[in-house]
Amino acid sequence: MRSKFFPFILILIFIIIFLFFYKGLSNYNIYTPNINVEKDIPLFSANLFESNVEVNSKEFFDPKKLYLLNIWSSWCVPCRDEHALLMDLSKNKNITLIGLNYKDRPDNAKNFLNELGNPYSQILVDETGTKAIEWGAFGVPETFLIYKNKVIKKYIGPLNQQLLVEIKSLIK
Amino acid sequence: MLSSTIGYYSLILGLCSSIIIFYFSIINYQDKILDTKILSFTFLQLFFVIISFLSLVLSFINSDFSNETVFNNSHTTKPLFYKISGTWGNHEGSLLLWQLVLTLFIFIFLLKSDNQSKQYRILTLLFQEIIIIGFFIFIIKTSNPFNYIYPIPKQGLGLNPILQDPALAIHPPILYVGYVGSSIIFSSVLAATILNIISREWASHIKKWVLVSWIFLSLGILFGSIWAYYELGWGGFWFWDPVENVSLMPWLALTALLHCIIVLEKKIVLTSWVVILSITTFTLSMCGTFLVRSGILNSVHSFANDPERGLYILIFLFSLIFLSIFIYFFFHKQNIKNNNNFFWLSKETSILINNWFMMYFLSVVLIGTIYPIFLEVISSQKISVGPPFYHKLIIPFLFPFLLAMAIGPNLKWVKSNMENKVNLILFFVLSIFVSGFVLKNLDQKFLINTVLLSSAFYLFFITIRDLFTKNFKNFSQNVAHFGFSLLILSILLNNFFSSEIIINLKVGESFENNKTKIIFNDIVQNKQKNYVSIIGNFTVENFDGKIDNLKPELRIYNQPNIITSEADIKTSFLSDKFMVMNSVQNQEYFNIRYQVKPFMIWIWISVVLICFGGLISFFKKKNEK
């Protein structure tokens, strides 16, 4: 009696496993970024890189504009890689690039920008690394797309050509 | 450019010959003798895949960047050796290698199986061709290694530097031989089930294939761990990473299968075990390919994240599973009359016990590997199952497992009574004393560690005794079991007695505790072909007056821009001294990790011994009674 149903039960189990795997496939899975999507930007205050003026995040981000916040550091090798892409992106008028300088020395950061160019319209300073934590960043570089005071997209690790195309299509 | 074209069209021709073989096999099925055309086309199929593979290798050697695979994974400044190994260091190329081994194996199978019945050979070929055609379509449709890029880039993107390592260059081919060997076992078992010819003769015929894939799978896992130990710089050799697990699972199933086949060679029992384990082994190998290639897991191995590929393998895998379930339930007949004469104290029972242990370990690893995926699907929660999970679930069962492994081989077939029990008990008492003595300075978890270590020592002593007292009867099994006991013993001792120092130092500074003194002498920078190397020079003085010079290295690769740390390891028969350094943000300081890891080399040696045992069994002419 048991053996008659057994194959069907087995097949059923495998179908369920199949469905799980199938579902799992559609989850985008490189170091799991999309969790923070559509989340409000964190409240924090930070100093500006050049003027050392303290700004508040709620006043700093204009809800009508599209922002790209990039966490970077002069000691971070992948940041160097993605820098050219950021420079390219900074030519685009529809998006404002904000840098968050992470655990860096001001001199090194300045040298870095002098050498490779400055794509950011404003740079915030995060000397202790606490602001990056507020943003929910795991490391450098990380990039956030912000619109209406919400994080609409988050990229962990250096940007590449493919992601740049994606960002550009989002801007439109 | 030319070689890409040749490669691509030979792939298509290969697919054509597979379809022709499939067609001929169906026509030829009812005939008395094997059609020679089938053999020729099988050779042709192999030939086309070889041509295709060689043209990819050639594109890599010539750095032909009009080929997308080469562009993505190679660079002109790479040494020749890594250009060649780059061929299978990526998704597309590794699939081509997989296909190469598949076609090679079915060809060898046809040549070597003359003495088997014709129908069986044809059916095995049919199943194998289903797999081969499936993979041909997979390669051509979703992961063609010969895609063009235009305009032709001047330079490639380079091979991930952590993959530029000799152990890793040979790791994939060897592992693939193991995986693919299991596909032959799979097809052959399905054929034998349909024809109902699972017999002692069949068992000794398929045993060779089981041994081949078992040896290669073991070696493949070994090279993978050696690579992890030397290259990843975490100072361990097994991390229960999902991708490692994925190679361990077929190994566990295959080990159980090997033992069942040995029983089946003597008498017709455990046939269901053999069929199910063969199917499981191959399914797990395929499942491994799926998990690694679909990007469903995050790991050093996941090359590409293309859901289309994952979906294809998933559907293919499950079609094969359903096919085998159908064949198993429809055709398989239990030999009921033979099942009753199991005496509780016999070799058969001990092998059955071994199987259940293997199944238990297998399910632990399986759950640990796929549970996070399932959980994420249900609740989009991310969990990661780490070593504590596996340790908690496996270690308690290791104790009875090792005991059973020590006693089992000393039992006789069919029925035995313990003649030498005194002897066995004496050895057990001895091992408790030895392990108590070894662990006397260890304060934490003394009891459980002693129990564990004594069972390991017990197996160790018993296998040594068997090596000398059994006059080389069953020598292969003795060597393999001895290797295994050595493996467990070295792993345990390594775990108990490893020590570690982590400090930040700058040049000229030194660190001292009651056992060791580490002096950071200086730092040397020089430029290599494809990276800049920074070598730190350290002197380590031990409390017993021994002085070692360790030179860990940081490599800054230019293409792609990645920093890797190369550990410096001083190996001796008793322990490894392992040092890695990492740069710290504010430049002057380096993070130094110094570890003393006892018996490291014995872990590698013991796995080689295990494989050697398998090799002896492979070359043994006829099994002794």
- Taking alpha carbons only, the member of B366, B392, B371 closest to residue B383 is B371
User: Closest by alpha carbon to A28, among A172, A166, A168?
Assistant: A166
- Could you tell me if B293 and B219 lie in one domain? yes
| Mean predicted confidence (pLDDT) in B536-549 | 84
Question: In the prediction, which pLDDT does A53 show?
Answer: 80
Asked if B336 has any chain A CB less than 8 Å from its own CB, the reply is no
Mean pLDDT of B71-76: 82
Confidence of residue B414 (pLDDT cuts 50, 70, 90): low
Reference B614, options B474, B470, B480, B471; nearest CA is B480
Say yes or no for a CB contact (<8 Å) between B311 and A22: yes
Q: Tens digits of per-residue pLDDT, B432-485?
A: 888 888 888 776 677 888 888 899 999 999 888 888 887 677 888 889 999 999
**What phi, psi does B155 have (nearest 5°)?**
-140, 150
List the single range of A54-68, B289-303, B359-373 with lowest mean pLDDT.
B289-303
| CA–CA distance, B21 with B345 (Å, rounded to integer) | 49
Q: Which element (helix H / strand E) includes B134?
A: helix B118-142
| H helical segments located in chain A | 2-26, 57-60, 77-90, 106-116, 130-134, 161-171
Question: Where is pLDDT greater, at B309 or B130?
Answer: B130
CA angle B414, B253, B330 (to 5 degrees): 80
Same domain, B548 and B579: yes
| Probe site for chain B from A25, A75, A128, A161 (most B CB atoms < 10 A) | A25
Over residues B226-284, the pLDDT tens digits come to 888 877 666 678 888 888 888 999 999 999 999 999 888 888 888 888 999 999 999 99
Q: What is the pLDDT of residue B140?
A: 92
Contacts of B311 in chain A (CB under 8 A): 22, 25
- What is the CATH number assigned to the segment(s) A33-171? 3.40.30.10
Return all residues near B245 (Cβ < 8 A) that are at least 6 apart: B365, B368, B369
The secondary structure element, H or E, covering residue A96 is: strand A95-102
Q: With CB atoms and an 8 Å threshold, state whether A14 touches B325.
A: yes
> Across the beta sheet with B499-505, what order do the strands follow?
B499-505, B590-598, B575-583, B568-571
Q: Between these two residues, A33 and B513, which has the higher pLDDT value? A: B513
The answer on B334 and B267 residing in a single domain is: yes
Residue A14 and residue B382: Cβ atoms within 8 Å? no
Question: Would the CB atoms of B377 and A10 count as touching at under 8 Å?
Answer: no
In a domain? residue B140: yes
- State the nearest Cα–Cα gap between B384 and chain A, in angstroms: 12
pLDDT value for B302? 47
Sheet holding A66-72, edge to edge: A39-40, A150-156, A142-147, A66-72, A95-102, A122-126, A45-48, A54-56
A29 and B295: CB-CB below 8 Å? yes
Does B563 contact A at CB distance below 8 Å? Answer: yes
Supply the pLDDT for residue B342: 62
**Measured over all CA atoms, what is the biggest interatomic distance in chain A, rounded to whole angstroms?**
82
Q: Which of B356, B385, B400 is the last residue of a domain?
A: B356
Helix, strand, coil abundance in chain B, percent, nearest 5: 65, 10, 25
- Residues B173 and B306 occupy one common structural domain: yes
Give the per-residue pLDDT at A95: 85
pLDDT above 80 for B586: no
pLDDT at B622: 55
Q: Are B110 and B183 found together in one domain?
A: no
pLDDT confidence of A33, banded at 50, 70, 90? very low
Are B605 and B519 within 8 A, CB to CB? Answer: no
Same domain, B21 and B74: yes
Q: Say whether residue B589 is in contact with chain A using an 8 A CB cutoff.
A: no
Task: Identify the residue whose tokens are 């020729």.
Answer: B40
Tell me: do B13 and B90 sit in the same domain. Answer: yes
* Calpha distance B65→B60 (Å, rounded): 8
**Residue B295 pLDDT class (50, 70, 90 cuts):** low
B321, B325, B376: residue with CB nearest A7? B325
For the cut 60, the answer to whether the pLDDT of residue A36 exceeds it is no
Nearest by CB to residue A18, choosing from B307, B314, B329, is B314
Q: What pLDDT is attached to residue B254?
A: 95
Nearest CA-CA distance, residue B380 and chain A, Å:
9
* Type of residue at B121: R
* Amino acid code (one letter) for A60: F
* B585 in contact with chain A, both atoms CB, cutoff 8 A: yes
- Does residue B450 belong to any structural domain of this protein? no
Q: Do A22 and B305 touch (CB under 8 A)?
A: no
Rounded mean pLDDT, B82-109: 90
User: What's the domain range around B61?
Assistant: 1-164
| Res A30: pLDDT | 44
Q: Which of B255-269, B339-353, B379-393 ranks highest by mean pLDDT?
A: B255-269
> Token match 């890029």: residue?
B149
Summarised one tens digit per residue, pLDDT across range B158-171 is: 767 777 778 878 88
* Nearest partner of B551 among B585, B510, B520, judged by Cα: B520
| Pairwise CB contact (< 8 Å): A21 & B295 | no
d(CA A67, nearest CA chain B) in Å: 28
The H or E element that residue A71 is part of is strand A66-72
- State the pLDDT at residue B590: 81
- Nearest-angstrom CA–CA distance, A37 and A154: 7
Residue A78: closest C-alpha in chain B = B561
- Interface check for B19 against chain A (CB to CB < 8 A): the answer is no
- Return the higher-pLDDT residue of B319 and B589: B319
- Which one of B164, B195, B228 terminates a domain? B164
Count structural domains, chain B: 3
Residue among A11, A26, A27 whose CB faces B325 most closely: A11
Question: How high is the pLDDT of residue B607?
Answer: 94
Q: Where are the domains of chain A?
A: 33-171
> Of B298, B325, B286, which Cα lies nearest the Cα of B131?
B286
Which pLDDT band holds residue B82 (cuts at 50, 70, 90)?
Answer: confident
Nearest to A20 among B295, B326, B374 (CB): B374
Residue B373 within any structural domain of the chain: no
Q: Which of B304, B321, B356 is the last residue of a domain?
A: B356
Q: Give me B245's structure tokens.
A: 């697990």
Q: How many CB atoms lie within 10 A of CB B120?
A: 18
pLDDT at A27: 61
* pLDDT band at B305; cut points 50, 70, 90: low
pLDDT value at residue B235: 67
B116 and B198 in a single domain? The answer is no
Question: Is B64 a domain residue?
Answer: yes
CA-to-CA distance for B529 and B591, rounded, in angstroms?
Answer: 26
Percent of chain B with pLDDT strictly greater than 90: 33
Beta-carbon separation of A24 and B376 below 8 A: yes
- Please report residues of A whose CB lies closer than 8 A to that of B322: 11, 14
Q: What is the mean pLDDT of residues B59-86?
A: 86
d(CA B360, CA B353): 11
* Res A38: pLDDT: 62
Handedness of CA B316, B319, B323, B328 (dihedral sign): positive
Q: Where do we find the tokens 């943000």? A: B585
Cβ contact, residue pair B561, A103, below 8 Å: no
In a domain? residue B3: yes
- Min CA distance, A98 vs chain B (Å)? 23
What residues of chain A lie within 8 A of the CB of B308, using their CB?
none
Asked if B235 and B580 count as a contact pair (C-beta separation under 8 A), the reply is: yes
Give the separation between CA B238 and CA B224, rounded to whole angstroms. Answer: 9
Residue A122 confidence (pLDDT) above 80:
yes
Adjacent-strand bridge partners of B557: B531, B562
Task: Give the whole-angstrom CA distance, residue B287 versus residue B336.
Answer: 33
Q: Can you tell me the distance from the alpha carbon of A102 to that of A124, in angstroms, rounded to the nearest whole number?
A: 9
Task: State the pLDDT at residue A29.
Answer: 47
What's the pLDDT at B335? 61
Instruction: Give the per-residue pLDDT at B234.
Output: 65
B352 three-state secondary structure: helix
The residues that bridge with B535 in the sheet, in sequence order, are: B524, B553
Which residue has better confidence, B428 or A133?
Answer: B428
The yes-or-no verdict on residue B624 having pLDDT over 70 is: no
Whether A24 sits inside 8 A of B561 (CB atoms) is no
What proportion of chain B, given as a percentage, has pLDDT over 70? 90
Bridge-partner residues for B578, per DSSP?
B569, B595
Q: Per the confidence metrics, is the pTM higher than 0.90?
A: no
Closest CA to B579 of B599, B562, B596: B596
Q: Do B221 and B253 belong to one domain?
A: yes
Q: What is the CA radius of gyration of chain B?
A: 26
Q: Is B557 on the interface with A (CB under 8 A)?
A: no
Residues of B in contact with A30 (CB under 8 A): 295, 298, 305
**What's the gap in Å between the CA of A17 and the closest CA on chain B?**
9
**Integer CA distances (angstroms), A54 to A58, A110, B340, in order:** 12, 19, 84
- Is residue B195 included in any domain, yes or no? yes
Q: Across all residues in chain B, what is the average pLDDT?
A: 85
Residues in chain A whose Cβ is within 8 Å of chain B: 6-7, 10-11, 14, 18, 20-32, 75, 77-78, 80-81, 103, 105
Query: In the prediction, which pLDDT does B419 show?
Result: 59
Q: Please report the pLDDT score of residue B54 as a whole number.
A: 95
Q: Do B296 and A24 touch (CB under 8 A)?
A: yes
Taking one residue from A and the other from B, the number of pairs with CB-CB distance under 8 angstroms is 62
CA atoms within 13 A on the CB side of B35: 18
Cis, bond preceding B560 (omega within 30 deg of 0)? yes
Q: Are both B495 and B540 inside the same structural domain?
A: yes
Q: ω into residue B242 within 30 of 0, thus cis?
A: no
Model ipTM? 0.72
